[in-house]
Structure 1
Amino acid sequence: MSRTRIAATAIGLAGALAASQAQAQSASSSEQEIALLKQQLKMLEQKLDKLQSQTAANTAATAKAKAEAKAEAKAEARSEAKAAVASANAAVPVKAAAPASGVVVTMPNNRPTICTADEQNCIAITSRVHWDVGGYNYRPNTAFTSPQQLDSGENLRRARIGVVGKFFGDWNYALIYDFGGSSDGFGGTASAGGTPVGFLPGGGTSGVENAYLSYTGLKPFGGKMAIEAGIMDLAWTLDESTSSNDILFMERASVGLIAQNIAAGDFRSAVGTRWWNDQLWVGAYVTGPTTGAIHSASSINPPGMTEQYGATARIAGNPISGKDYSLHIGADAEWLIQPPRNLVTQAQTLTLSDRPELRIDPTSLISTGAIANVSGAQVYGVEAAGTYGPFIAQGEYYWFNVDRTANTGLPPFGAPSLKFDGGYAQVGYVLTGETHPYNPAAAAYGGIKPANPFSLTGGGWGAWEIAGRVSTMNLNDQLATAAGIAGGRQTIYTAALNWYVNNNVRFMLDYLHGDISKQQSSTSAVNAGSKFDAIAMRTQVAF
Structure 2
Amino acid sequence: MGARRIGAIAIGVAGVLASAPAHSESANSDAEIALLKQQLHMLEQKIDKLQKQSNENAATAAAANAHAKAADAKASHVANANAAIPVKGPVASSGVVVSMPNNRPTICTADDQNCIAITGRIHYDVGGYDYRPDTAATSPQKLDSGENLRRARIGITGKFLSDWNFALIYDFGGSSDGFGGTAAGSLPGGGTSGVENAFLSYTGFKPFGGKMAIEGGIMDIPWTLDEATSSNDILFMERASAGIIAQNIAAGDFRSAFGTRWWNDQFWVGGYVTGPTSGAIHSASSTSPAGTSEQYGGVIRVVGNPISGRDYSVHIGADAEWLIQPPRNLVTQAQTLTLSDRPELRIDPTTLISTGAIANVSGAQVYGVEAAATYGSLIAQGEYYWFNVDRTANTGLPPFGASSLKFDGGYAQIGYVLTGETHAYNPSSASYGGIKPANPFSLTGSGWGAWEIAGRVSQMNLNDQLATAAGIAGGRQTVYTVALNWYVNNNIRFMLDYLHGDISKQASSISTVDAGSKFDAVAMRTQVAW
TM range (shorter): 0.7 to 0.9
Once the 2 structures are TM-superposed, how far is the Cα of residue 102 of structure 1 from its aligned partner?
1.4
Residue 394 (structure 1) shift? 0.4
Q: Which amino acid aligns with 1:108?
A: P
> Against the structure 1 CA distance between its residues 188 and 161, is the aligned structure 2 distance closer, same or farther, given a 3 Å change threshold?
closer
Change (3 A) 1:237 1:336: same
SS at match of 1:525: coil
2:33 maps to what in 1?
A: none
- Of 505, 525, 528, the residue aligned with 1:538 is 525
Cα distance in 1 for residues equivalent to 2:279 and 2:248 = 13
The counterpart of 2:149, out of the listed 131, 146, 156, is: 156
In structure 2, do the counterparts of structure 1 residues 524 and 411 end up closer, same or farther at CA, with 3 Å as the change threshold? same
Cα deviation, 1:12-58, whole Å, max 9, x if unaligned, reads xxxxxxxxxxxxxxxxxxxxxxxxxxxxxxxxxxxxxxxxxxxxxxx
Which residues of structure 2 form unaligned runs of 5+? 1-89
Q: Contact 1:495/1:510 (CA < 8 Å) preserved in 2?
A: yes
Equivalences for residues 457-496 of structure 1 within 5 A: 457-496=444-483
Measure, in 2, the Cα distance between the counterparts of 1:317 and 1:99: 40
- Which of 1 and 2 has greater Rg? 1
Q: Separation in 2 of the partners of 1:177 and 1:185?
A: 13
Q: Do residues 452 (structure 1) and 424 (structure 2) align?
A: no
Q: Distance in 1 between matches of 2:275 and 2:512?
A: 38
Q: Deviations over 1:410-446 (max 9, x none)?
A: 0000000000000000000000000000000000000
2: distance between equivalents of 1:354 and 1:197?
A: 9
8 Å contact 2:241–2:341 — kept in the other structure?
yes
Please say if residues 169 and 198 of structure 2, whose CA atoms lie closer than 8 Å, have aligned partners that are also in contact: yes
1:339 aligns with 2:326: yes
CA distance in 2: counterparts of 1:185 and 1:249, whole angstroms = 20
Distance in 2, Cα, partners of 1:106 & 1:141: 55
The CA deviation string for residues 330-387 of structure 1, in whole angstroms up to 9 with x for no partner, is 0000000000000000000000000000000010000000000000000000000000
- CA–CA separation in structure 2 for the residues paired with 1:375 and 1:426: 34
Question: For residue 449 of structure 1, what is the amino acid of its counterpart?
Answer: K
- Give the counterpart of 2:132 among 129, 139, 142: 139
| C-alpha deviation, 1:185, in angstroms | 4.9
Cα deviation per residue 1:143-196 (whole Å; 9 max; x = unaligned)? Answer: 31111110000000000000000010100000000000011159843442x545
AA at the equivalent of 2:166: Y
Equivalent in the alignment of 2:343: 356
2:101 aligned residue: 108
Secondary structure of the residue aligned to 1:260 is helix
Distance 2:183 2:327 in 1: 12
Q: Does 1:291 align with 2:278?
A: yes
Secondary structure of the residue aligned to 1:521 is coil
Aligned partner letter, 2:207? P
Gaps of 5+ in 1: 1-96, 201-205
* Change over 3 Å in CA distance of 1:392–1:533 after alignment to 2: same
Question: For the residues of structure 1 that align with 2:259 and 2:178, how far apart are their CA atoms?
Answer: 32
Q: Distance in 1 between matches of 2:305 and 2:133?
A: 44
Distance, in Å, in 2 between the alignment partners of 1:196 and 1:301 is: 17
Question: 1: CA distance between counterparts of 2:340 and 2:116?
Answer: 38
Q: Counterpart of 2:154 in structure 1: which amino acid?
A: I
TM-score (norm 2): 0.82
CA distance in 2, matches of 1:244, 1:357: 14
> Is this contact kept in 2: 1:187–1:362, CA < 8 A?
no
Conserved? CA contact 1:476–1:486, under 8 Å: yes
Distance (whole Å) between structure 2 residues aligned to residue 197 and residue 500 of structure 1: 30
Amino acid aligned to 1:246: D
Instruction: Give the match for residue 375 of structure 2.
Output: 388
Determine if contact 1:190/1:258 at 8 Å carries over to the other structure.
Answer: no
- Output one character per residue of 1:187-222: Cα deviation in whole Å (capped at 9) or x when no partner: 843442x5459514xxxxx51000000000000000
Identity across aligned pairs (percent)? 84
Q: Within 2, Cα distance between the matches of 1:440 and 1:207?
A: 28
**Match of residue 279 from structure 1:** 266
The residue that corresponds to 1:240 in the other structure is 227
Name which of 191, 197, 202 aligns with 1:210. Answer: 197
TM-score, normalization: structure 1? Answer: 0.80
d(CA) in 1 for partners of 2:180, 2:103? 32
Partner of 2:255: 268
